[in-house]
C-alpha cells in the first residue's frame, strides 16, 4: 500500500513518466506494477488498515495478494468493506 502511494506521487510529480517506467526501474512486470497500483482503488479505511498492519517477522503474512486481489476489482467501497470483513 505504501509503495502504491509513493509510486503515485512519483508519477504525479513527474519524477517518472508512468507506471511502465516504474516497472522497468523496479525490475517487475507491468502486470505486477498494475497489481500494486490497483491498491489505490480500495476504500480509504481499507487502505489505512493495510498501512497499519503489524510487522510480520515470522510465519505467514497477515494479508496476501490473493485475498486483496478480488476486493480491489470491486468498484463499490461498500462491497469492498463487506468482502474485507471476511478476513
**C-alpha–C-alpha distance, residues 33 and 31, integer Å:** 5
pTM: 0.89
User: Would you say residue 67 has pLDDT above 90?
Assistant: yes
pLDDT digits (tens, 9 = 90+) for 21-61: 999 999 999 999 999 999 999 999 999 999 999 999 999 98
What pLDDT, on the 0 to 100 scale, is given for residue 29?
97
**C-alpha–C-alpha distance, residues 61 and 82, integer Å:** 21
What pLDDT, on the 0 to 100 scale, is given for residue 62?
87
Task: Calculate what percentage of the chain has a pLDDT beyond 90.
Answer: 91
Angle at 45 between CA 41 and CA 48, to 5 degrees: 90
- Are the CB atoms for 24 and 60 separated by under 8 Å? no
What pLDDT, on the 0 to 100 scale, is given for residue 87?
73
User: Would you say residue 71 has pLDDT above 80?
Assistant: yes
Amino acid at each position: 500500500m505504501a509503495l502504491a502511494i509513493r509510486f503515485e506521487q512519483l508519477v504525479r510529480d513527474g519524477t517518472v513518466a508512468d507506471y511502465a517506467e516504474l516497472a522497468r526501474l523496479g525490475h517487475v512486470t507491468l502486470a505486477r506494477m498494475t497489481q500494486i497500483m490497483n491498491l489505490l482503488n480500495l476504500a480509504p479505511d481499507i487502505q489505512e488498515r493495510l498501512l497499519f498492519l503489524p510487522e510480520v517477522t515470522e510465519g505467514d503474512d497477515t494479508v496476501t495478494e490473493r485475498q486483496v486481489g478480488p476486493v480491489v476489482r470491486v468498484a463499490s467501497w461498500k462491497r469492498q468493506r463487506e468482502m474485507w470483513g471476511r478476513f
